[in-house]
Structure 1
Amino acid sequence: MALWRKPAPPPVIGVLTGPPPPPTWWQSNRHLVLLAIGVIAGFWLAVKFGVAADATPACPPGLRPAHTASPTPAPTGAQH
């Protein structure tokens, strides 16, 4: 091979013949489908395990312990 010859160009493997095909329905809407599945699964888990539906207070207001008197009696006599 002489120094003045150009190397042969690489062979053409494939040729693009136009714009790419439009995306399929799944490619366009998969984020919406997965979002809907996640929201439905979240509500189902919350209802099943009672996380969101448990609205009962831990201690009803009428059942608080009563205040008791101190064990030492109050002094009788002069008041301040």
Structure 2
Amino acid sequence: MIRQVEENLKTCKIYSIAILIVCLISLILNYKDMTTEDFFGFILFFGYLESVLISGWINFKNQIKEYNAYLDKIEKHSLK
């Protein structure tokens, strides 16, 4: 289970970086044609995507901590 969570965390980071790159390229290519409303809409959409992915990172890290604490409890119980 811990490997799956770590793999999901890596995948989430890769997606986040890919979205960042795609959004920045799109912004650079379309900057001249954008109105102020388009630009701020783009920034809000980009911020929403990144906030979702960052919350995913935090969730996965918390899952890893909880699982490690669970394994520690099992190990302490088995030593007694």
TM range (shorter): 0.3 to 0.5
Q: RCO greater where, 1 or 2, for CA within 8 Å and sep 6 or more? A: 2
**Could you tell me the TM-score, scaled by structure 2's length?**
0.35
**Could you tell me the TM-score, scaled by structure 1's length?**
0.35
Bigger Rg over Cα: 1
The structure richer in helix per residue is 2
